[in-house]
């Protein structure tokens, strides 16, 4: 039996033992197939009537919206000025986030295309969420949850569905000494911040760091939703020092499949609490509020940016070899995060960040590497390396960032908040259409002297096929013991904590949508690029086999048929037991999510 099959089987045992077997719609006999369960669509007789929808509307503090996508208005039409403007607007992640019908990624070649729900509950309270959950369960509706809308798998959209949209749940509250519900006398008070499920990280960093002088571990991309990132584990630029974001979760308010609003923390509903820390967004319930521990702020945050070009393959391999050795000697510590990128045109791009170092100390760290580049034949620096540090208080300050040389882009919509800025380097992801996306954790053992040569060979070979990024902040080997302990107490695949980096090999393109003249995806190009990504990843798997490498659930391959093992490793059986306890009928469905074995890809049919 393959290991992933064993994991699937083992994961069901706790539930079966506790209940004496399957119950309800999923009940089977020794010789019978599972009973087929189908959710309803608008064309079905069981779809709720107008009066039923109006009854739901009357129970909400928020709004029930009949969703219309601006993309649908352009499909099959002659190119018009309004559609041209729409595609310009799709490069603004705040525009996307504020539109109930849109998602930050528009689709993935031969996998999915963004499609809006029929109705959306623009929730303002947990009671609104509970009403939507009850309505979906009672009427057998496909239910979708969207906060930031950044899911690469399309998990924040589905046609013929009811959407719970948490964007308006954006309150932020700081605590000097937080103690979770039921934890008095059992858990020491800690500084913390409570955030609504609709918050995005730029606004949270602004509140916690710029205005309050503390640090909260979140995502690197400014417009990612807080709730989705935490539930997927959550790596940020400075995770090498603070651990994954889920490790700082102290408490969550959650609406479960039975429509109850509960608290999950270390003292109440502890199994669900553990599952929410990395078990995948939208699989176990609807998180409506999270409370995260905050940490002391270092004096400085900063970054190092440079590009080196090699004239020959031999020089490029020598460059990669020196970069790997330099990382192992000088950067493999809690100060440094983010990435080094290798491209087929024989370039190496440094896009690293640091914390707790002054600009002078950061320059001293990098000078030996740049000196080596300068004296090595066949290598050339493009321009002057940029190494800069900011007082940590100013690192996410919109006013300070706007003064920098192209650091951020401002939300230019009339009336937009001046706090709406995002990193210039993230604009390529706004409205993107994906061709391929794969990741793998690289064990820190590859940095050992006797392993570096084979590691370098694999990187060099992979970069001939397609570009790759070594995300050093997404491998937690080398992190402080306290950060590692917090991170290990999550559902995230344990291989992440012995990895020096997460390698990501991916291909994306400009906003595209089927049926819109001049904007339709080019599937021939997409297939060619996906094949190149596959060849590049095969080189990585020569030094770390796929079943050992794992993958990061938020940044991985849509078509991975071993996703249980890839995303959660030995944690999957425990996660599946939690899922079967809190959502036995599978109300909460996401692609390659916990407990989705036996469901159709679109989440409408189970069994048969």
Does the domain spanning 300-391 belong to CATH 3.40.50.300? Answer: no
- In tens, the pLDDT along 562-607 reads 999 999 999 999 999 999 999 999 999 999 999 999 999 999 999 8
In this structure, the number of other CB atoms found within 10 A of the CB of residue 525 comes to 13
Query: What are the tens digits of pLDDT across the range 285-311?
Result: 999 999 999 999 999 999 999 999 999
| Domain spans of the chain, in order of start | 3-35+565-606, 50-163, 172-296, 300-391, 429-560
Q: What is the pLDDT of residue 80?
A: 82
Q: How many CB atoms lie within 10 A of CB 494?
A: 17
> How many whole angstroms separate alpha carbon 56 and alpha carbon 134?
10
Given a contact cutoff of 8 angstroms between Cβ atoms, the answer to whether 357 and 335 are in contact is yes
Residue 32: pLDDT over 60: no
Can you tell me the distance from the alpha carbon of 150 to that of 224, in angstroms, rounded to the nearest whole number? 6
Distance between CA atoms of 280 and 157, rounded to whole angstroms?
15
Strand duo 379-381 + 300-310: pairing: antiparallel
Confidence check: pLDDT of 462 > 90: yes
pLDDT of residue 31: 45
463 exposed, middle or buried (CB, 10 Å; 0-12, 13-18, 19+)? buried
DSSP for 464-476, written as a single string: HHS-EEEEGGGS-
Q: Are 195 and 292 in contact (CB under 8 A)?
A: yes
pLDDT in tens, 185-199: 999 999 999 999 999
CATH no. of 172-296: 3.30.465.10
Q: 276-285, pLDDT tens digit by residue?
A: 999 999 999 9
Is the pLDDT confidence value at 2 over 70?
A: no
Are 543 and 455 contacting, i.e. CB atoms less than 8 angstroms apart?
A: yes
Q: Are 348 and 341 in contact (CB under 8 A)?
A: yes
Distance CA 115, CA 216 (A): 34
The pLDDT of residue 34 is: 66
- Phi and psi, residue 503, nearest 5°: -90, 135
* Residue 15 reports pLDDT greater than 70: no
What is the structure's pLDDT at 33?
57
Read off the pLDDT band of 159 (50, 70, 90).
very high
CATH: 3.40.50.2300, 3.40.640.10, 3.20.20.150, 3.30.43.10. Which one for 50-163?
3.30.43.10
DSSP letter for 429, please.
Answer: G
- As a whole-number percent, the residues of the chain with pLDDT over 90 amount to 92
Model confidence at 20, pLDDT cuts 50, 70, 90, reads: very low
Does the pLDDT value for residue 13 go beyond 70?
no
- Beta bridge pairs of residue 390: 301
Name the pTM for this structure. Answer: 0.93
Distance, CA of 180 to CA of 50 (rounded, Å): 42
Average pLDDT over residues 27-40: 67
Say how many Å lie between the first and final Cα of the chain, rounded.
24
Nearest to 452, CA basis, from 323, 365, 597, 366: 323
SS3 string, 71-121, reads: CCCCCCCCCCHHHHHHHHHCCCHHHHHCCCCCCCEEEECCCEECCCCCEEE
């Amino acid at each position: 039996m393959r290991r992933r099959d064993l994991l699937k089987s083992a994961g069901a045992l706790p539930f079966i033992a506790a209940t004496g077997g399957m119950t309800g719609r999923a009940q089977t006999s020794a010789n019978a197939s599972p009973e087929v369960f189908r959710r309803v669509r608008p064309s079905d007789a069981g779809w709720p009537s107008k009066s039923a929808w109006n009854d739901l509307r009357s129970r909400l503090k928020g709004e029930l919206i009949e969703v219309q996508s601006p993309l649908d208005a352009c499909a099959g039409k002659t190119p018009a000025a309004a559609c041209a403007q729409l595609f310009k607007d799709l490069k603004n992640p705040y525009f996307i986030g504020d539109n109930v019908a849109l998602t930050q990624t528009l689709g993935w070649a031969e996998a999915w295309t963004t499609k809006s729900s029929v109705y959306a509950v623009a929730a303002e309270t947990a009671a609104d969420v509970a009403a939507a959950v009850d309505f979906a369960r009672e009427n057998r509706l496909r239910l979708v949850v969207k906060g930031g809308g950044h899911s690469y798998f399309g998990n924040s959209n589905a046609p013929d569905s009811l959407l719970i949209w948490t964007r308006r749940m954006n309150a932020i509250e700081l605590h000097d000494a937080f103690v979770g519900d039921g934890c008095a006398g059992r858990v020491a008070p800690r500084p913390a911040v409570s955030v609504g499920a609709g918050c995005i990280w730029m606004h949270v960093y602004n509140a916690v760091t710029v205005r309050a002088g503390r640090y909260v571990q979140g995502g690197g991309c400014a417009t990612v939703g807080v709730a989705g990132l935490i539930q997927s584990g959550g790596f940020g630029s400075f995770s090498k020092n603070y651990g994954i974001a889920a490790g700082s979760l102290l408490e969550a308010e959650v609406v479960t499949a039975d429509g109850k609003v509960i608290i999950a923390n270390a003292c109440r509903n502890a199994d669900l609490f553990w599952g929410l820390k990395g078990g995948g967004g939208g699989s176990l319930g609807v998180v409506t509020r999270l409370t995260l521990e905050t940490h002391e702020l270092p004096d400085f945050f900063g970054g190092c940016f440079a590009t080196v070009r090699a004239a020959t393959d031999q020089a490029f391999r020598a460059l990669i070899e020196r970069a790997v050795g330099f990382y192992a000697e000088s950067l493999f510590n809690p100060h440094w995060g983010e990435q080094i990128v290798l491209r087929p045109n024989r370039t190496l791009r440094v896009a690293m960040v640091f914390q707790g170092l002054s600009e002078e100390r950061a320059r001293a760290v990098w000078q030996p590497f740049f000196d080596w580049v300068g004296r090595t034949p066949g290598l050339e620096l493009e321009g002057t390396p940029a190494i800069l540090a900011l007082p940590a208080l100013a690192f996410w300050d919109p006013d300070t960032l706007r003064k920098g040389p192209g650091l951020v882009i401002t939300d230019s919509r009339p009336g937009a908040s001046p706090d709406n800025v995002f990193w210039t380097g993230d604009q390529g992801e706004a409205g993107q259409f994906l061709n391929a996306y794969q990741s793998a954790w690289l064990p820190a053992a590859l940095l050992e002297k006797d392993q570096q040569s084979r590691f370098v060979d694999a990187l060099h070979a992979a970069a001939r096929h397609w570009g790759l990024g070594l995300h050093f902040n997404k491998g937690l080997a080398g992190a402080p013991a306290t950060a590692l302990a917090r991170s290990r107490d999550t559902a995230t695949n344990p291989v992440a904590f012995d990895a020096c980096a997460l390698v990501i090999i991916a291909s994306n393109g400009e906003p595209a949508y089927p049926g819109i003249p001049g904007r339709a995806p080019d599937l021939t190009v997409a297939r060619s690029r996906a094949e190149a990504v596959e060849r590049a990843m095969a080189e990585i798997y020569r030094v770390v086999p796929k079943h050992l490498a794992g993958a990061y659930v938020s940044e991985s391959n849509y078509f991975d048929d071993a996703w249980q093992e890839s995303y959660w490793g030995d944690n999957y059986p425990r996660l599946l037991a939690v899922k079967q306890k809190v959502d036995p009928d599978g109300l909460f469905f996401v692609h390659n999510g916990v407990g989705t074995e036996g469901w159709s890809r679109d989440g409408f049919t189970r069994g048969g």
